[in-house]
Amino acid sequence: MSWRSPQACRVLVLLVSLGFAPPRMPAQMNMGSHVMEMQDEIPPAKLPPPVHMAGLGNAHLEITAASEAQIWFDQGLNLLHDYWDYESARAFEQGVRVDPNCAMCFWGLYQAESFYHSTAQGLAGDALRKADMLKEHASAHERLYIEAAVKHEKAMRDPNLGPMKDESRQILEKLVKDYPQDMQARIFFANASGEDLVARLEGVLKDNPDDSAANHYYIHALEISDPIKALHSAEILGRRLLAPVTWSTCPATYSFGSATTPVPKRLSPTRLQRTNDICASSTWTPTTIGITFTT
């Protein structure tokens, strides 16, 4: 697949089109390029059971949990990176159901709920408090993730605690230094690092070129300044059939959503023009790439 192939352009169109800033971002995830899903507020315990999905990405983080909870955690983590918040929350909640002592499943639920409902609804904060209460069941490695989220959440809730954001970043930096092989730590730290985002993501991609989450965030980081530079990342995601997407035209309209509720979206005129310019020489036909649901 060439950098300007139709499939690479389709993936770039999709990911660039997600570039709208949400009211809140989850802990350490400060990318201003996410569209929140249009779902009614449902407490996590009342979410319907998820289904196993393939083709979401290759994110993995070893956690202290039952083996089945680990599977659901990884599914939730990949969905979080895919900005599929509702399904991410379902997966993390299923990890909790399988292993109620899984601190990192609650941490993941906090991340997903922060995107999905925003922390103002209280559901995210409840999940984080449970993660913090259970952190003695977690490894030292995992506790750093939880501690960073706790600092970040306190800073977001109280403007007088702004320095806690710096403390959160410092904990993430320690996480990266103590566990340099943890790609997830490097990605979360990159997203919390502001001006250094592109350079840090390029560092991840240098060591792991096929990292689905890093490639996704890299596309968003460059969507305004240099989208053509991100075509290689779009090609990689296209090869992995990462995005749960159906394209009906190029590049005016696409739709995506959960297994229960599809959510139509449209490109803004500015982004439509940018992606048209990039893909002008491509032949576009209705194409579907996506995920596989298994029972």
Model pLDDT, residue 194: 80
Model pLDDT, residue 224: 87
Contact 29, 188 (CB under 8 A): yes
pLDDT tens for residues 242-273? 444 432 222 322 223 333 333 333 334 443 34
Check whether 220 has a pLDDT greater than 50: yes
Q: Kindly report the pTM of this predicted structure.
A: 0.74
Model pLDDT, residue 42: 82
> In the structure encoding, which two tokens stand for residue 274, read together?
């940018």
Distance between CA atoms of residues 108 and 121, nearest Å: 17
Q: Write a three-state SS string for the chain.
A: CCCCCHHHHHHHHHHHHCCCCCCCCCCCCCCCCCCCCCCCCCCHHHCCCCCEEECCCCCCCCCCCCHHHHHHHHHHHHHHHCCCHHHHHHHHHHHHHHCCCCHHHHHHHHHHHHHHCCHHHCHHHHHHHHHHHCHHHCCHHHHHHHHHHHHHHHHHHCHHHCHHHHHHHHHHHHHHHHCCCCHHHHHHHHHCCHHHHHHHHHHHHHHCCCCHHHHHHHHHHHCCCCHHHHHHHHHHHHHCCCCCEEECCCCCEEEEECCCCEEEEECCHHHHHHHHHHCCCCCCCCEEECCEEEC
Bigger pLDDT: 216 vs 280: 216
pLDDT tens for residues 105-130? 999 999 999 876 655 568 899 999 99
pLDDT tens for residues 53-110? 988 999 999 999 999 999 999 999 999 999 998 999 999 999 999 999 999 999 999 9
Model pLDDT, residue 206: 97
pLDDT band at 218 (very low <50, low <70, confident <90, very high): very high
User: Both ends of the chain: CA-CA distance in Å?
Assistant: 32
Model pLDDT, residue 28: 52
Q: Among 26, 29, 191, 37, which Cα is nearest to 115's? A: 26
Mean pLDDT for the chain?
A: 75
Mean pLDDT confidence for 283-291: 38
Q: Among 104, 98, 90, 88, which Cα is nearest to 142's? A: 104
